[in-house]
Structure 1
Amino acid sequence: MHVYDTITAALSDLDHRGYNLDFNLTAVGLECKPINLFLRPEEFEIEEVYRFEGMTDPADSSVVYAISSNAGNLKGVLVDGYGVYAENVSPELLNKLKIHHG
């Protein structure tokens, strides 16, 4: 695992290491709209997780997930706020994220 001072530094290094897709969270999986890709929880792995605390407000905290998938040997990142996903996400996806969320 690497140590980063900022989200920008983490995203830059991950991109340099091949995590070039930008994933968005949906109710039942991850999507990458530019390449019309959708991954269900069983189709991806969370390789690395980095947490960043908000400077003034803990609610501003974020998590960067480094994601890989054997479906096309793809790598990308998901940036999410703490707990933001909890209400609108399937139990399977929530469990996968929570395992790594701590």
Structure 2
Amino acid sequence: MKDYVSLAAALQELYNNGYCVDFTTDTVCLYCGEYDIRLDPEDFHIDEYVELTASAGSDAGKIVYAITSISGEKGTLVLNAGTYIASINARMARKLRLDQ
């Protein structure tokens, strides 16, 4: 991914590339309420990710992940760079590289 000027620009480009499911983190999985999808760390691949820089203004510090599940769903996950990793398990933190 490139250096985006905003979170909206990053999400729009990913949406245009088929990443249409919006994921959030749960304690042990990624979750999409709209489609009732739960993905454990071994159930998805991070295709790419980018941390938005100061050029993104108020969106700086957000991390945008492009994710594909093993069953083919493609979606995005947005986290703050300072996400408190105690709210997710160690396997998920490692998968998302939040423990480094």
Superposition TM-score, scaled by structure 1 size? 0.85
**Counterpart amino acid of residue 20 in structure 2:** N
For structure 1, the residue ranges without an aligned partner over 5 or more in a row are none
**1:27 matched residue in structure 2:** 27
* Residues in 1 aligned to 2:2 and 2:17: alpha-carbon distance in whole angstroms: 12
Aligned length: 97
* Residues in 2 aligned to 1:37 and 1:44: alpha-carbon distance in whole angstroms: 11
* Residues in 1 aligned to 2:3 and 2:16: alpha-carbon distance in whole angstroms: 15
Large movers: runs of 4+ above 3 Å: 53-56
Over the residues paired in the alignment, what is the CA RMSD in angstroms?
2.0
Query: CA shift at 1:82, angstroms?
Result: 1.0
Query: CA shift at 1:3, angstroms?
Result: 3.4
**1:36 matched residue in structure 2:** 36
**Residues 3 and 53 of structure 2 are in contact (CA less than 8 Å); yes or no, is this contact kept in structure 1?**
no
For structure 2, the residue ranges without an aligned partner over 5 or more in a row are none
Superposition TM-score, scaled by structure 2 size? 0.86
**1:61 matched residue in structure 2:** 61
